[in-house]
Structure 1
Amino acid sequence: MSEKNHDGNRSARARLQQQRDREKAREKQRRVLIVSAAIVGVLGLAAVIGVIAASGGDDEGSDKAGPVVTPSGATGDDKPAIPTGAADAPSTLTIWEDFRCPACAQFENAFRNTIHELEAEGAIKTDYHLATLIDGNMGGSGSLRAANAAACAQDAGKFTPYHDVLYMNQPEETDDAYGNNAKLIELAAKVEGLDTPAFRSCVEDGTHDTWVQKSNEAFRSGSFNGTPSVLLNGESIFPTKGNEQISPANLKKWVAEANKGKKKGSASPSTTG
């Protein structure tokens, strides 16, 4: 091999190593750990599911600014949650998530219909715990502002459809669009009957900010690796349950196994409007 070719190969290897180093730095900065590919639906579509690591810095605006104002129907003193589905359902799905978290949006968009179906038939109730992890990792206030708006939607009896709208319209992780209350109010127009003076006032005033911060503190003090964290009756099922990969079909199977011999809860009203 000529000296010229040898030098060229050495230079190519150096450039490749530099590229790898840059990729590693970007991955560390974003704190994104890709952990699995979840199979979506019976047609074999796949969604790459990630977990946003919970090792970020302090959240923007994490100091409590006022008294805790609990949303209507919220539960859990130490682990604040917004419940959906039938309260007497035999199984509970617990989801810790962040409205700015791209992995959470991937999970919700892949499993939304399955969760709604299981709730509607009285098989499960779902406890949503809201975190503000991305605000701490990336800067900004979109996680907090969106979570407060979702809690305001809960006051109006519209949490589920608004929750879904937020994930279906989620901006890029680095775009703090949800830090703008006007954007959150604009999206409320997609939910029939939600965009009211009371909702707007709740959003603009940050009525539930301190409640959201309390929920985020519960997340940080828990043994969670990141968002989303998903549990069925207290057992982690994301990205796997035992040796089985999570998928809509497996979620239904796991719920059926957990509910065997148990009476289903009351039929839940429509969760989409």
Structure 2
Amino acid sequence: MSEKNREGKRTAREKLADEREKQKSKEKRRRALIVGASVVCVLGLAAVIGVVAANTGKDDGSESAGPIVAPSGAQGKDGLAIPVGEESAKSTLVIWEDFRCPACKAFELAYRDTVHELTEAGQLKVEYHLATIIDGNMGGTGSRKAANAAACAQDAGKFTSYHDVLFTNQPPETDDAFADENKLIDLAGKVDGLDTTPFQECVEGGKHNSWVEKSNEAFRTGGFSGTPTVLLDGKNIYQDRSMTPAKLKQLVQDANK
């Protein structure tokens, strides 16, 4: 073979080797890009998940969550129910309420005299659960702060009276007046013996805020349609359009026969 031919074959082999090296380099770069893009997508997803997780359950305007401190005497699952009445009563009324909720006020004004009569007679036990859905719907912190104040009143053995005062003096739904702790303390003056230093410190310090938030979470995950939710021995009587205070009284008295 002539020298010229040998040189030509060597050049062709070198060109082929160069081409193969170029292809390998391209393949490496392609793989690197794929891996890099995958990492970016995973990190992006993690960032989104992190943002969602960080904001899940946050209540607009709420302070940082502290330890969950249930009010004195709280009962039921996770200590979220404030009980009123005799434990031995044969009927139990479970009420989910929000102190900013106008429908809750309407229910209370219509039914509370009957409820008080039945609890005082030992025929009915009531379990009050507090929610903050109006804060979520309308903005503000009045539902939560009022609920915390009611829990503070429970610590002082004055829940029922203060509960009634809050609903009697409920501001319009769009007015977040209960966000003012001074107003909540002023209203405590309408309950004999409640406006004390421990009560004021409990209200101003948000002692039961995390408990209230836990209660509201239980409401949100409980499958309820709104407040008030009123269950008599497990049956939703608030959805019964034929229900009246007199009918409620009769149902409870029949259960106690």
- Pairing 1:254–2:251 present: yes
CA distance in 2, matches of 1:151, 1:158: 9
Instruction: Using the TM superposition, give the Cα deviation of residue 72 of structure 1 relative to its aligned residue in structure 2, in angstroms.
Output: 0.4
Q: How do 1:1-273 residues align onto structure 2 when only pairs under 5 Å count?
A: 59-61=59-61, 65-78=65-78, 80-240=80-240, 245-260=242-257
CA distance in 2, matches of 1:235, 1:217: 21
Deviations 1:58-85 (A, max 9, x none): 6435686111011000112336110001
Q: Tell me if the contact between 2:70 and 2:79 (Cα under 8 Å) persists in the aligned partners.
A: no
**Greater RCO, CA 8 A, separation 6+:** 1
Instruction: Using the TM superposition, give the Cα deviation of residue 256 of structure 1 relative to its aligned residue in structure 2, in angstroms.
Output: 2.1
Instruction: Give the letter aligned to residue 85 of structure 2.
Output: G
Q: Tell me if the contact between 2:95 and 2:126 (Cα under 8 Å) persists in the aligned partners.
A: yes
Q: Tell me if the contact between 1:74 and 1:81 (Cα under 8 Å) persists in the aligned partners.
A: yes
Instruction: Give the letter aligned to residue 158 of structure 2.
Output: K
Deviations 1:88-130 (A, max 9, x none): 1111000000000000000001101000000011110100000
Q: Tell me if the contact between 1:153 and 1:194 (Cα under 8 Å) persists in the aligned partners.
A: yes
Instruction: Give the letter aligned to residue 72 of structure 1.
Output: S
Q: Tell me if the contact between 1:131 and 1:215 (Cα under 8 Å) persists in the aligned partners.
A: yes
Structure showing the higher strand proportion among its residues: 1
Instruction: Using the TM superposition, give the Cα deviation of residue 200 of structure 1 relative to its aligned residue in structure 2, in angstroms.
Output: 0.1
Q: Tell me if the contact between 1:60 and 1:140 (Cα under 8 Å) persists in the aligned partners.
A: yes
Q: Tell me if the contact between 1:97 and 1:227 (Cα under 8 Å) persists in the aligned partners.
A: yes
Root-mean-square deviation (CA, aligned residues, Å) is: 1.5
Against the structure 1 CA distance between its residues 178 and 87, is the aligned structure 2 distance closer, same or farther, given a 3 Å change threshold?
same
Deviations 1:35-73 (A, max 9, x none): xxxxxxxxxxxxxxxxxxxxxx96435686111011000
- TM-score, length basis structure 1: 0.71
Structure 1 unaligned segments of length 5 or more: list them: 1-56, 261-273
Q: Tell me if the contact between 2:62 and 2:141 (Cα under 8 Å) persists in the aligned partners.
A: no
Task: Report sequence identity in percent.
Answer: 64
CA distance in 2, matches of 1:170, 1:198: 24
Instruction: Using the TM superposition, give the Cα deviation of residue 206 of structure 1 relative to its aligned residue in structure 2, in angstroms.
Output: 0.1
Q: Tell me if the contact between 1:79 and 1:129 (Cα under 8 Å) persists in the aligned partners.
A: no
Instruction: Using the TM superposition, give the Cα deviation of residue 254 of structure 1 relative to its aligned residue in structure 2, in angstroms.
Output: 1.4
Instruction: Using the TM superposition, give the Cα deviation of residue 223 of structure 1 relative to its aligned residue in structure 2, in angstroms.
Output: 1.4
Deviations 1:177-203 (A, max 9, x none): 000100000000000000000000000
CA distance in 1, matches of 2:189, 2:63: 31
Paired residues, what number? 201
Structure 2 unaligned segments of length 5 or more: list them: 1-56
CA distance in 2, matches of 1:259, 1:77: 25
